[in-house]
Amino acid sequence: MPQFTTITFIFLTLCTATIAKPAKFKLDHSSSSSSSSTKKYTYVCDASRYASLGLNMSSFSFCDASLTYEERAKDLVKRMVLHEKVRQLGNGAYGVPRLGLPKYEWWSEALHGVSNVGPGTFFDHFVPGATSFPTVILMAAAFNESLWKSIGQAVSTEARAMYNLRRAGLTFWSPNINVVRDPRWGRALETPGEDPFVVGRYAVNYHYAAYDVDDWLGVDRFHFDARVRQQDMEETFLRPFEMCVKDGDVSSVMCSYNRVDGIPTCADPNLLKDTIRGEWDLHGYIVSDCDSIQVMVDYHKFLGDTNEDAVARTLKAGLDLDCGVYYTNFTAGAVAEGKVREREIDTSLKYLYIVLMRLGFFDGSPEFKSLGKDDICTKANLELAARAAEEGIVLLKNNRTLPLSPHQARNIAVVGPHANATEAMIGNYAGVPCRYTAPIDGFSRYGVVTYKEGCADIACKNESFIFPAMKAAKRADATVILAGLDLSVEAEGLDRTDLVLPGYQTQLINQVAEVAKGPVVLVILSAGGVDISFAKENPNIGGILWAGYPGEEGGRAIADVVFGHYNPGGRLPLTWHKADYVDMLPMTSMPLRPVPSLGYPGRTYKFFNGSVVYPFGYGLSYTRFNYSLSTAKRFVDLKVENLDYCRDLSYNHNTKRPPCPATSIDDLDCRHDIDFEVEVMNTGHRDGSDVVLVYSKPPHGILGTHIKQLIGFERVFVRKQSSQKVHFKINVCKGLEIVDYAANHVLPSGGHSIVIGDDVVSFPFQVNFS
């Protein structure tokens, strides 16, 4: 099913999680679901609607469907006077009654399901909820592009149904595709992880850039000035956004509160107008994170700008829509003072109305008009939510303990602060779920459950709850401990200061495992990594699972994995660092590469070479997989028109420098591919899914580049004692490029390596210039 709501991709952050009163966007000025003698109009250019307003629709060219959207939008904007124009530039657009243009609320959210965060969407007795899928970090762990696309389609179907029922708009600001640079970042749950390629592919399917400090030791996003090397910007921070604009053809991009290299992102013409609109060719609009212009004036005090200065500066930079009231209140004054031209406003309004026309706001969408209440919280969507959680869950440890047998584990002790989790499972930017299946509900399908909380809450400051949990474990055939974090520890506006479990949770886990009669399984609910080395090394804990924040069906998914109804195949989308990592560098340090002069280590798997608890891409299975590969060609000869085009690179002193170290990607014929097949063999006795991760490593001896980078992945289901072939065709320039110290995208000559998995198999690939 096609996408039919606009999905906004975020430049630097998501909108502020402010739960506001539901704004009643509708054309019929009524939210009632009951029948009425008053005709309800569902799109603007309905001739009978115009007649009811005492207007003749045929006199308005913007309602002429034979014209292009651009022509129609131009006609609509030309008919407005300045006062009317500025009232359409905020998220709550006022409409123009004399033109028959109704109000519209742009702000709706759909991070992992239709949300009531933002005034554009609301739930009530008629539509009490919508499907709440796992948070993005767990969906990313599935490494399954078809799953991401299916979820995006399901969410947009429910969103369109709610629009038809006059309980939502058409524009949804999701997802957050910032790369997780630091394990302490509170918004990791909203993102697809630390690898820019994975983040970008998630963005493309779920349908800008250096921000990941919310509030760390008094440094918050409203004041933060991200000092970013252009090399890191090109290589890591911008890449997912470029992919979603170019490959995903998104309808909108959002700029954030913070500054990058001293300039507020919503006032940076290089980022907004030149890069996103120009170089990437955005077909849509650029919107501010809510109240970002006010933050620019009141917090950043950027260049001493007045309110009128600020709106003029952001309009000229390429910001089309203000989530807030600054454009509405101060743009007319900025025009009167000669600080911005009216044609800048016209340009932004045309971008906005073209998007609404594409979505059917003006002409309707007959193919979707039948969608309604029966298309929300469907059985199929609930099953998809459960499958998404199952596919994302990662098996971290298994000492022949998992899966549990329902015949041997008839009495199950389910203990810990997340044992009866409900709201914690849906994370933030969540709406009202269709229902909750808590872990104790899921395990009750497999045996008799004894539930003990073990901690009063996630903070776990009272150890007196541990003893009842120990008593339950002594009597049970098997014990499942559900521990971890929640929004009181990691969230928007709340970064972590450590990487350990809160309060007495570690004591709870160790003491329960020490006395348990049967096997012990630990399940961690979190977004960011946690140093659970103690559990990894504890022989009394037979299995460990990471379940992220698994959505409304999370309890069922966890139990199904524990009892083998589903064989886990998820992989960690984040590195799980040891606790002392946070002592090595401040969160505000932006470079991804190590900073030797300060003793700072690198960030993400691409630049950190120290020991970790669990690496990026880690994940076990209840079966065993082996790889073999075949390649047709292990080299490429590329012609360089002029050797003056060669770019120099820095090498260590033991490496022989090639005659032409590298060439700019722009100067090469990049129509060459690395073409190979990986045969995945399931040698075990259970069917299962494996994620094939493909990395490239640059030629040996180049200084300042990544250790390795992910260039492809595929999730494949393989039946026991059988095999499946996975074909990869990776563009040479995209797969092997590096970004040099001057932020140029270059292809190095020499011997690259293509690595499958954690160096399970690999092959060399030679790049020759002539």
3-state secondary structure 487-502: CCCCECCECCCCCCCC
Give the end-to-end CA distance of the chain in Å, rounded to a whole number. Answer: 48
Alpha carbon distance 595, 586 (integer Å): 12
386 closest CA partner among 564, 548, 557, 546: 557
CA atoms within 13 A on the CB side of 528: 33
Q: Which of 268, 289, 375, 495 is catalytic?
A: 289
* 160 to 53, 369, 403, 431: CA distances (angstroms): 26, 9, 40, 15
The pLDDT of residue 177 is 86
Ranges of residues in the chain with a pLDDT under 50 are 1-26, 28-38, 208-225
**Whether domain 388-614 has CATH 3.40.50.12170:** no
SS3 667: helix
Q: Do domains 388-614 and 625-769 have the same CATH topology?
A: no
Instruction: Return the domain boundaries, the chain.
Output: 388-614, 625-769
Cβ neighbours of 671 (radius 10 Å): 8
Q: How many CB atoms lie within 10 A of CB 20?
A: 13
- Find where tokens 């309110």 sit: 307
Given a contact cutoff of 8 angstroms between Cβ atoms, the answer to whether 135 and 53 are in contact is no
Residue 289 annotated to the active site: yes
Nearest-10 crossing angle of helices 239-246, 196-205:
30
| Check whether domain 625-769 has CATH 2.60.40.10, yes or no | yes
pLDDT on residue 769? 93
DSSP designation for 576: B
Q: Check if the beta carbon of residue 747 is closer than 8 Å to that of residue 663.
A: yes
DSSP-derived 3-state class of residue 388:
helix
